[in-house]
Amino acid sequence: MSLPEEKNSFKFKHRRFIFRFFFILLFLVIFCADLSLAFASVNGTAIEEEGQRDAVITDFFANHELSDATVRFEQPLENASLIFTLNSKNKLLKSETFILGPVKKGQEITKILFWGIDEDFGKDINSYTAYVYVKNGKENLAFRKLSFSNRNPILSKLKLVDFSADSEKASVLMSLTSPANLRSIQTPEPGVIDLDLKLLSGTEIVYSEKQKNIPIISTYYNASYWPFLLEKDKNYTTLLKVHSHSPDVTAAYISNFRAEEEVEIIDRDIDIDEYGASVTIVGKSQVPFDGFVRVVLTHKDGKVQVFEETADILTSGKEDTVGIIWQGVQKGDYNVKIYVLNSKGEILDSHETVLRVFEPVAEAIPVEESPAIGFLTVLGIFLCAGIFSGRKRK
């Protein structure tokens, strides 16, 4: 039989335990809420972004050369801007703002910033952090961050054999990496990639092209031809981002070029005989070619004769056949040099061959109109007019 004091003591301890339990549970709930808020900030997802959804950062990439961000605006804004920053530990290395101004609902904008920093990037992994902020005036709408080292991510299953760009196109060649054990007969495991190609003039994107879910079984080649004209002597930058599905890695590659006129002589379509020459040329650039074809005949005795003919204006893939007729070419053997030149006289392509002329080609003599013939013609017109006029009067 228990005493009343013992019962009261048991009830008191039981109530105290329940009170402590609920107090600890409440503390854990509040602590976890604060912790999730902190993690949301660390992962670059703004909490208020989920509530307002004025702007969504749909893509963000950064490495030691550049940063690339795409933003979709869910509401119309009057004073939108993008801010890129690059930090090394607690040191701010770069900050640049892109003023977007008014934006429409549903509008998607991509901006690329090249860091252009001379500092030697460190070798420690995650030693640098890039941020992108979306603002409307002074109001923060969204932000993302990404840490990286100076080393470009490695596409473990794939190898970029070549990436290059010129005034005509950008081309990429990729292959699967061989197994680490060279003695193994195991074939490389296929890969799947996404390609994101951009052509820039300065930091302005002038062309963009994306390809999704490309299977890489052995080798892959793709050429993207520019669908518009380029400005002569202007510098362009081509950016290629390769995203590997497995493992989930994105790597970026850059190719710079200067836009120039380019044209090529089609060797198999050259026809030269004792009467003249026929030369077919094809445009190899989206900078329009404006020039002419020059054929130089050099006789074995050293005498040189030059013939020229204007070509059509050409762009990439367009052809023109230029015909030239010899005049005053004597019998004999000739060394023939064919040049394609632009309007400034710069040689863009050339071809060399030989020619034997069996019979001399006379120089064409222009036919001049005789004054007497002109007078008789006019007199005949007047006589005919008079005859017709007399007949009408009768």
- The whole-angstrom separation of Cα 298 and Cα 302 is 6
Identify the CA nearest to 318 among candidates 259, 260, 264, 257: 264
What does the pLDDT average to over 9-33? 54
Predicted local distance difference test score (pLDDT) of residue 373 = 47
What does the pLDDT average to over 40-68? 67
Predicted local distance difference test score (pLDDT) of residue 223 = 96
Kindly tell me if the per-residue pLDDT of 48 is higher than 50: no
3-state secondary structure of 41: helix
Q: pLDDT class for 49, splitting at 50, 70, 90? A: very low
Check residues 52 and 144 and name the one with the higher pLDDT.
Answer: 144
What does the pLDDT average to over 19-36? 50
- The whole-angstrom separation of Cα 255 and Cα 233 is 16
- The encoded tokens of residue 145 equal 């961050």
Kindly tell me if the per-residue pLDDT of 258 is higher than 60: yes
Kindly tell me if the per-residue pLDDT of 269 is higher than 80: yes
Would you say the pTM of this structure is higher than 0.85? no
Q: pLDDT class for 149, splitting at 50, 70, 90? A: confident
- The encoded tokens of residue 308 equal 């020229």
What does the pLDDT average to over 235-245? 95
Residue with tokens 């107090």: 23
Predicted local distance difference test score (pLDDT) of residue 169 = 97
Predicted local distance difference test score (pLDDT) of residue 27 = 52
Q: pLDDT class for 271, splitting at 50, 70, 90? A: very high
- The whole-angstrom separation of Cα 66 and Cα 112 is 7
Predicted local distance difference test score (pLDDT) of residue 25 = 56
- The whole-angstrom separation of Cα 80 and Cα 178 is 48
Residue 321, amino acid: T
pLDDT tens for 352-376 read 999 999 998 877 555 454 454 454 5
Identify the CA nearest to 264 among candidates 276, 251, 279: 279
Predicted local distance difference test score (pLDDT) of residue 361 = 81
Which domains are seen in the chain, by residue range?
A: 55-149 (2.60.40.10), 158-180+188-259 (2.60.40.10), 263-357 (2.60.40.10)
**Which residues, in sequence order, are CB contacts of 262 under 8 Å at separation 6+?**
166, 167, 168, 283, 284, 285, 287, 289, 348
Q: pLDDT class for 62, splitting at 50, 70, 90? A: very high
Residue with tokens 């329940």: 18
Predicted local distance difference test score (pLDDT) of residue 382 = 47
Predicted local distance difference test score (pLDDT) of residue 284 = 97
DSSP conformation letters of 350-379: EEEEEEEESSPBPPP-PPPPPHHHHHHHHH
Q: Is the peptide bond before 247 cis (omega within 30 degrees of 0)?
A: yes
Q: Which of 102-106, 170-174, 178-182, 208-212 has the lowest mean pLDDT?
A: 178-182
Residue 323 CA, distance from chain mean position: 37
Q: Are 331 and 357 in contact (CB under 8 A)?
A: yes
- The whole-angstrom separation of Cα 288 and Cα 290 is 6
Cα-only R_g, the chain: 38
Q: pLDDT class for 97, splitting at 50, 70, 90? A: very high
**Exposure letters 34-45 (e unless 16+ CB within 10 A, then b):** eeeeeeeeeebe
Q: Which of 68-72, 115-119, 180-184 has the lowest mean pLDDT?
A: 180-184
Around 158, how many Cα atoms within 13 Å sit in the side-chain half-sphere? Answer: 28
Q: Are 85 and 130 in contact (CB under 8 A)?
A: yes
User: Where are the alpha helices (H) located in 133-241, listed in sequence order?
Assistant: none
Q: Are 297 and 339 in contact (CB under 8 A)?
A: no
What does the pLDDT average to over 284-306? 96
What does the pLDDT average to over 293-297? 98
What does the pLDDT average to over 51-73? 89
Around 319, how many Cα atoms within 13 Å sit in the side-chain half-sphere? Answer: 8
Predicted local distance difference test score (pLDDT) of residue 190 = 75
Predicted local distance difference test score (pLDDT) of residue 135 = 96
Check residues 138 and 381 and name the one with the higher pLDDT.
Answer: 138
Identify the CA nearest to 34 among candidates 23, 49, 47: 47
